[in-house]
Amino acid sequence: MTNITVVGAGIMGRGIAYTAAISGYNVRLQDISSNSLQAAARDLQNMAQRSTERHFITLEQQQLVQNIAYTDSLEQAVLNSDLVIEAVVERMDVKSQIFNELDQLCDAHTILATNTSALSPTEIGAQTKRPDKVIAMHFFNPVHKMKLIEIIRGLDTSDETVRIVQDVARRMGKESVEVNEFPGFVTSRMNVLIGNEAMNMLMEGVASAEDIDRALKLGLNHPMGPFEMGDLVGLDTRLRTLEYLHKTLGEKYRPSPLLVKYVKAGRLGRKTGRGVYTYEEDEQHANS
């Protein structure tokens, strides 16, 4: 396992590419948007530079980040790839299309992983002729700091595939948990409920956003407040997960009308400079 391709150069794709590179993998990062690719290259160089100055990574690791290849061609991106990790928008139609293409473009041995927050790896695997090599690797944001990867096998995922991605997780310095397939797995299912309830409280005027965040941090010992977390994740991504869980698990996941309103207004969180809170340019990049 030496070559990793990351598909999608947004918040998560950047974090996964960075973490894979400093763990010694050869990394290619693909996106259909040249803006995303340019921003990713800039972000990752800056992050590697700062992390080297602070002695979080070595000069050699900084060089490995500089070696990441960026491309908008999926065909070039997956050449000789051993593992592809998909991190594009949380939509089944988009992910299905990509896995169908990946199946045709990749070598027979290549494992195809999705970083979905909630969707079914079985359904994604069914778009391919290699469902035994399709699996979900659910990373957390910011990837280089967060210790966990949730590993979710689809109905036909092989033990060998699970073992290989567990090894990759270990080499990236992560702990993994194996979760049975169910919408939202463990973490997203729990986390969106807290975030959604906080939105409803804000809408009802129970307290200010700052005080709701402070209450959960100081009273319940959460490391981040639910609005800080929602703005970091992206409110659009959060809304898509809730919509899916509402459809599959029922009423308690109905998205808060206030969350829907923020997304309609384009207030998506740090990545757009404004979500529940407002961010300066240098605060926008989750991975900094």
What would the two tokens of residue 173 be? Answer: 């310095």
Residue 195 interacts with ligand NAD (CB under 6 A): yes or no:
no
Residue 116 interacts with ligand NAD (CB under 6 A): yes or no:
yes
- State the residue number with the nearest CB to ligand NAD: 10
Judged by beta carbon, residue 90 or residue 228, the one nearer ligand NAD is 90
Kindly tell me which residue out of 125, 154, 184, 234 binds ligand NAD, with binding defined by CB under 6 A. 234
- Site string (90-109) toward ligand NAD, x via CB under 6 A: x---x---x-----------
Judged by beta carbon, residue 12 or residue 201, the one nearer ligand NAD is 12
Residue 29 interacts with ligand NAD (CB under 6 A): yes or no:
no
Q: What is the dihedral of CA 195, 201, 204, 205, to 10 degrees?
A: -120
Sign, CA dihedral 178-155-139-107, equals positive
What is the rounded CA–CA span in Å between residue 36 and residue 80? 24
What is the rounded CA–CA span in Å between residue 206 and residue 208? 7
Residue 36 interacts with ligand NAD (CB under 6 A): yes or no:
yes
Judged by beta carbon, residue 10 or residue 62, the one nearer ligand NAD is 10
CB of 268 to ligand NAD, least distance (A): 8
Paired strand residues for 278: 274
Kindly tell me which residue out of 3, 4, 6, 10 binds ligand NAD, with binding defined by CB under 6 A. 10
Which backbone phi and psi does 274 adopt, to 5 degrees?
Answer: -155, 130
**Identity (one letter) of the amino acid at 18?**
Y
Helix (H/G/I), strand (E/B), else coil: 262: helix
